């Protein structure tokens, strides 16, 4: 699995008094700090480790994030000591990172597909960076006026261009040969030299570029906090994803029979930037019909089958094992998670930073509809036929 590094060590001097008491990545946008918003956008890639490179007020990060598990990723805080700019502290990861890895900035984000950086076209390539169109960064001095040459190789232009560094990088482990413990700039001291040596590729991403690094931009995002939120398509499981077993439960992989258009429909949602999240009551666990481990194995099989056959990704599954007469006392807890209650929806919204007003739910029962009404989520009953066809029919509402 791939790792990602987030650079969070800067002082944020451009924000003045705002960063005297708190580091810039932890500044609040609405009720979330920016780093949490950033993490909610990258957890879909299922990184093994998320490394936070810490310096300024490092104790905040260690307290909030050290060894925290979010989705399928473990967060590790790395103390780089005194500030070493964007490159000097990375050498501390040399013996921790085993494969190619990503680096992103902790106060900006180019909302594009990180997978576009993973394929190198040239044998000598050491890294690939996301390039974006420079619309209003007149004072940007880090990797601007760049152009793409043949086979995606980056080069500097003698003339002014509208392309600049997007702050997202993918590196081969060979990059560590160019690092040291000195205070160095990843962009100006390392990547710039590698571009001249024809060892850095680029890919243009036309998605929105987010940066909270100046007072004006921070004020804008605070006034428009929904700018960061993600859209989600919530799906019930039984009767929407797989064939409903009347008066019974799915107890093994063989009984999980996919309904028409499920793989194609989920794949389509992936391509138009929806999080795909399953919300399901599974009282079979509380009733002792199957174990929670068995249920998770069925879900793993479901996700793998859809991924392998349709390149369709289910981002997350929230289920309620609650049963009020369960012999296992822990399954009598969390009643609010069971639909038509909305506990699972609230957990998903918080974890993935979901904009409920731009999200949808497809279910097959009145219980699903009641839950949607409680949370003010747009609801559709599952129609006969292809799930893909039904999803495409709603496209005008996106």
Which amino acids are annotated catalytic?
A: 236, 238
Neighbours of 222 (CB within 10 A): 14
Q: What does the alpha-carbon distance between residue 256 and residue 170 come to, in Å, rounded to a whole number?
A: 38
Q: Which two tokens stand for residue 173?
A: 């482990």
Contacts of 43 by beta carbon, 8 Å cutoff, 6+ apart: 70, 71, 72, 73, 351, 352
Q: Can you name the residues that pair with 24 across neighbouring β-strands?
A: none
Q: What does the alpha-carbon distance between residue 324 and residue 60 come to, in Å, rounded to a whole number?
A: 41
């Amino acid at each position: 699995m791939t790792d990602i590094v987030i650079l969070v060590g800067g002082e944020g001097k451009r924000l003045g008094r705002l960063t005297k008491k708190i580091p810039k990545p932890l500044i609040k946008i609405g009720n979330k700090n920016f780093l949490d918003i950033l993490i909610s956008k990258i957890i879909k890639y299922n990184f093994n480790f998320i490394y936070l490179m810490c310096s300024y007020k490092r104790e905040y990060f260690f307290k909030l994030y050290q060894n925290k598990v979010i989705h399928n990723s473990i967060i590790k805080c790395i103390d780089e000591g005194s500030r070493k700019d964007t490159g000097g502290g990375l050498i501390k990861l040399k013996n921790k990172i085993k494969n190619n890895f990503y680096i992103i900035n902790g106060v900006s984000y180019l909302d594009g597909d990180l997978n576009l950086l993973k394929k190198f076209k040239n044998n000598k390539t050491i890294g690939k960076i996301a390039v974006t169109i420079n619309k209003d960064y007149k004072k940007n001095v880090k990797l601007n006026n760049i152009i793409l040459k043949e086979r995606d190789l980056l080069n500097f232009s003698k003339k002014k261009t509208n392309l600049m560094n997007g702050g997202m990088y993918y590196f081969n482990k060979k990059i560590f040969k160019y690092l040291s413990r000195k205070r160095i700039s990843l962009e100006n001291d390392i990547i710039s030299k590698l571009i001249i040596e024809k060892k850095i590729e680029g890919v243009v991403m036309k998605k929105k570029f987010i940066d909270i690094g100046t007072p004006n931009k921070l004020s804008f995002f605070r006034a428009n906090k929904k700018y960061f939120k993600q859209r989600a398509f919530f799906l019930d499981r039984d009767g929407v994803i797989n064939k409903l077993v009347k008066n019974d439960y799915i107890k093994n992989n063989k009984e999980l029979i996919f309904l028409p258009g499920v793989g194609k429909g989920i794949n389509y949602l992936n391509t138009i930037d929806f999080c795909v999240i399953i919300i399901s009551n599974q009282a079979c666990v509380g009733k002792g019909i199957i174990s929670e481990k068995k249920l998770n194995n069925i879900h793993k099989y479901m996700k793998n089958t859809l991924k392998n056959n349709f390149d369709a990704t289910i981002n997350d599954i929230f289920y309620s094992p609650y049963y009020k007469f369960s012999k296992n006392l822990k399954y009598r807890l969390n009643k609010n998670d069971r639909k038509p209650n909305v506990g699972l929806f609230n957990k998903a919204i918080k974890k993935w930073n979901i904009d409920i007003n731009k999200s949808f739910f497809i279910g097959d029962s009145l219980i699903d509809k009641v839950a949607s009404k409680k949370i003010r989520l747009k609801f559709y009953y599952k129609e006969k036929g292809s799930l893909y066809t039904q999803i495409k029919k709603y496209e005008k509402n996106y």
